Amino acid sequence: MNFFDGPDEATFRSELRAWLAENRPSKEGDRDHGADGNRASLEWHRQLYQGGWLGLSWPVEYGGRGLTPLYDAIVNEEVGASGAHVPSVGYLGRAILHYGSDEQKRTYLPPMLRGEVQWCQGFSEPGAGSDLASLRTRAERRDDVYVVNGQKVWTSRAQWADWCLLLCRTNPELPKHKGISCLVFEMNRPGITVHPLQQTWGTAEFNEVFFDNLEVPIENRIGEEGDGWPLATIILAHERGPADIGFIAHFQHQLNEFERLLSELPEERRSEFANRVAQAYVSVAACRLHVLKSLSLRAKGVAPGADTSIDKLLMTRVEQELGALAWDMAGAAPSLGLDDETVYQYLRARASSIYGGTQQIQRSIVAQRLLGMPRG
């Protein structure tokens, strides 16, 4: 056990710090919601990538740097401390890395990491949320294409995405986990309709996506027919690990904001909130240190599994604690419609126990796969 940077890690960190002193995201980049936020976030993504700070743990031949995942942790810490966010970098790509052909990897991964091509994830359906494997979007093989019909929902950023990674049913005869396959395609193909859904905080990042006789060439299938479920499991395991999606940086940034805000509070409320902020500091530390341990295991070659559900559950606790604290510290302004940022933080935190697999699904995974409690 050694939490100090090794020599290479230390050099990397000091170079990153120097770079961050010169490079900042534009103002909207700090708020990753809405069309402007999406654009700014992509710009920041490209800027970070060009600086050499994203996609670190990806293989060099696909646009990464072939470093250990611990470098991702350094990026999260430093970018977070600078007050900026870390864009979510291609956890979808992890599935392509595992199941894609060499050509697919070379085609899809580098532009994904560079932030040139934006992807969305066609997973959930109106009838397949927590029970994802019951999805019904159908892909029928006709000669050299699949014809896709069906509907997805909660598809984040589909309205801005260039490409989609879709889970669909290629064989309805097989048991539900076996008949699923994965297709990728451009979002501007005929037969795709995107309908944004407005969220409780006002903007619309997620969408309903309808497929009406969408044709996808068979060479756009990732893996074999029937590989869709294990492939989805890889994506979800990575999505649940907070480091891949930059949450730690976001938490650090929020904590810094709270500590700054303390001095602006009226005297009589300061000590109450100073203690709640200290409590939040402890919660963030628990999450951060657990993630560091997970990343150290990855660096040693242990693949992410059910243990990422612990990271996700810790992350959810922290996010909701921070959201509630932001709300309480802001007083009445958000209720009066005068503080959109706090409204966003608070309401968005409520979604953190839903996306990436609900808190209840995560608990079942932990109980059954880590504690060995039998399925009912």
Partner 1 sequence: MDATLSESEELLRETARRLGSDLACGSVAEYADFDDTKAWRSLADMGLLGIRLPDEVGGGDGSTLDQSLVVEALAFHSVAVPFLGSAALASELLLAAGASQETLSRLASGELRVALGLTDDLSSIWREGASKNAVAFDSAGAQAALVFDSSDAGVTLRSVALGEPLPGLDLTRRSHRVNCETVVDVGDLGGVIDADTYERTIARCLTLVAWDLVGVMDAGIATAVEYAKSREQFGVAIATFQAVQHICADQLVSLEGARSMAEYAAWAVDECDTADALLAARSAKAFASREGRAVTEAVVQVHGGMGFTWDCPAHVFLKRALSDALLFGDAPRQINEIAQLRSRSRA
> Which residues belong to the active site?
239
Among 310, 329, 330, 343, binds partner 1 (CB under 8 A): 310
Residue with tokens 């909207």: 28
Report helix, strand or coil for 286.
helix
Spatial separation of the C-alpha atoms in residues 339 and 335, rounded to whole Å? 8
303 binds partner 1 (CB under 8 A): no
Q: Which residues make beta-bridge pairs with 192? A: 211
Among 113, 128, 148, 295, binds partner 1 (CB under 8 A): 295
CB of 81 to partner 1, least distance (A): 13
Among 317, 324, 354, 355, binds partner 1 (CB under 8 A): 317
The tokens describing 346, both together, are 């608070």
Report helix, strand or coil for 338.
coil
Taking a C-beta distance cutoff of 8 angstroms, is the pair 290, 309 a contact?
Answer: no
Site string for partner 1, 243-272 (x = CB under 8 A): ----------------x--x--------x-
11 binds partner 1 (CB under 8 A): no
Among 6, 126, 127, 217, binds partner 1 (CB under 8 A): 6
Length of the chain, in residues:
376
Among 4, 175, 266, 267, binds partner 1 (CB under 8 A): 4
Residue 41 or 352: which CB sits closer to partner 1?
352
Q: Which residues from 19-48 bind partner 1, rule CB under 8 A?
A: none
313 binds partner 1 (CB under 8 A): yes
| CA 233 from centre of chain | 14
Residue 1 or 332: which CB sits closer to partner 1?
1
What DSSP designation does 117 have? S
175 binds partner 1 (CB under 8 A): no
Site string for partner 1, 72-111 (x = CB under 8 A): -x--------------------------------------
CB of 271 to partner 1, least distance (A): 8
Could you tell me the sign of the dihedral formed by the alpha carbons of 275, 243, 290, 310, in that order? positive
Spatial separation of the C-alpha atoms in residues 50 and 59, rounded to whole Å? 16
282 binds partner 1 (CB under 8 A): yes
281 binds partner 1 (CB under 8 A): yes
The tokens describing 186, both together, are 């451009």
293 binds partner 1 (CB under 8 A): yes
Closest C-alpha to 308, from 91, 60, 66, 77: 91
Ranges of H-type helices in 226-266: 228-240, 247-262
CA distances from 315 to 85, 115, 124, 195, 285 (A): 16, 25, 21, 30, 11
Sequence-distant (≥ 6) Cβ neighbours of residue 286 within 8 angstroms:
314, 318
CB of 76 to partner 1, least distance (A): 13
Residue 360 has a CB neighbour count (10 Å cut-off) of 11
Closest C-alpha to 94, from 128, 129, 131, 69: 69
Which helix (H) or strand (E) segment holds residue 287: the answer is helix 267-299
Among 81, 133, 265, 297, binds partner 1 (CB under 8 A): 297
Binding part of the chain for partner 1, among 163-171, 211-219, 221-229, 289-297 by CB under 8 A, reads 289-297
347 binds partner 1 (CB under 8 A): no
Residue 3 or 188: which CB sits closer to partner 1?
3
16 binds partner 1 (CB under 8 A): no
Binding part of the chain for partner 1, among 78-86, 151-159, 239-247, 364-372 by CB under 8 A, reads 364-372
Sequence-distant (≥ 6) Cβ neighbours of residue 11 within 8 angstroms:
none
Write out the residues near partner 1 by the rule CB under 8 A.
1-6, 9, 70, 73, 259, 262, 271, 274-275, 277-279, 281-283, 285-287, 289-290, 292-293, 295-297, 299-300, 310, 313-314, 317, 360, 362-368, 370-376
